[in-house]
Amino acid sequence: MNTLNTLLHKASRLDKLGIHLIRVGVAIIFIWIGALKFVPYEADSITPFVANSPVMSFFYNHPHEYKEHLTHEGQLDPAKREWQVSNNTYAFSDGLGSVEILIGLLVLSYAFSKRLGMVGSVLAFLTPIVTLSFLITTPEAWVSSLGDANFGFPFLSGGGRLVLKDVLMLAGGVVMIADSARQLLNARSAAHG
């Protein structure tokens, strides 16, 4: 019983390590996926999400024509790639990737700047709100009706399952904001105390 209590007491203090792991995990996701946005296959794969978004579709020149120009990961179709260039798919994806990398770096900046860390935390919280909206706006987020009885809601496609993971990013953002606010308040207290 004593060993169990000791383990429980140690486990009860893991939240201090946990917040750092959340920050590093969120930063890795933003930086890695942001860097992939510079690669055509990743830019191609977000086309349905951007084209169907009422907030983002204006970034594309031909958002309503995307379906006939989609490729699969690893597929090279020069004509479809050329369409993606003319659609502004890659320029938009490069910009989005830059923003995602910046968010990841801001999240990590908490180590030397509590204010920048707070900015990164807020942006890391807001980004999944946009991403999760794709579950409402993007038909490709759900399994298509191709003969199987399991299609539509609640049957998420591969793209839908990818989007759903942002629920954890949203939760991580809340934890990071709370921790950043606590650190900023402690610093203010120490400066005025």
Residue 1 in any domain: the answer is no
Cα–Cα distances in angstroms (integers) from residue 167 to residues 122, 128, 150, 163, in the given order: 15, 7, 23, 8
Residue 110 in any domain: the answer is yes
Residue 3 in any domain: the answer is no
Domain that holds residue 50: 17-192
Domain count, the chain: 1
Would you say residue 102 has pLDDT above 80? yes
* pLDDT tier for residue 1 given thresholds of 50, 70 and 90: confident
- CB neighbourhood size of 185 (10 A): 11
Give the whole-angstrom CA distance, residue 152 versus residue 139.
9
Q: What is the pLDDT of residues 45-94, one digit of tens each?
A: 999 999 999 999 999 999 999 999 999 888 999 999 999 999 999 999 99
Structure letter (DSSP) for residue 193: -
Residue 94 in any domain: the answer is yes
pTM check: above 0.85: yes
